[in-house]
Amino acid sequence: MASFPATFAAGCFWGTERYFKKQFGEALLSYKVGYMGGTTTSPSYQDVCTGTTGHAEVLHLECDASKVTYDDLVQFFFRMHNPTTKNQQGNDRGTQYRSAIFYHSEAQRTAAESYIRQLQENEKLAATLSRTFGTSKISTTVEPASVFYEAEAYHQRYLEANPRGYCNHRVYW
């Protein structure tokens, strides 16, 4: 079976995990929340929350290529969080809550950058962004994937275990 990795940062990883699992279900061979994009080795949640490690809270996926495309994931990523706010999603503020796509190949980088261009240049998509978020200026960064550090066990599938737990994500459009 052909598979591929994908890693997204969209604010608090609890909601990111919930919405990707709900949308893509069986197409996800595995999924874990954790940290990526920083300089600290093996950071803890407490370390990342200081904002000094450079890491983002991320969802790391392994996907079944026969059931989902990378483009599908990227398009959904932009629909399930606010990609126009820098280092913030809802009440969560700090670089660890940035909007970022961590690419694992040049093809993923190209796909992410191409969709960002579409969002800003396509009249309909830009209008949808402006209507939904008040602007069409994307602040999402496209960064090379680095070491993925799995978050502590209590963060994994957190909203499955705590259905009324904090989540500021939703599908916007």
d(CA 22, CA 36): 23
d(CA 129, CA 138): 9
Concerning whether 12 is annotated as a catalytic residue, the answer is: yes
Secondary structure (H, E, C), 34-84: EEECCCCCCCCHHHHHCCCCCCEEEEEEEEECCCCCHHHHHHHHHHCCCCC
pLDDT digits (tens, 9 = 90+) for 107-149: 999 999 999 999 999 999 999 999 999 998 999 999 999 999 9
Residue 1: per-residue pLDDT = 83
Helix, coil or strand: residue 20: helix
d(CA 144, CA 110): 12
Note the Cα 73 to chain centre separation in Å. 10
pTM: 0.97
Q: Calculate the average pLDDT of the chain.
A: 97
The one catalytic residue in 12, 49, 63, 167 is 12
Residue 30: per-residue pLDDT = 98
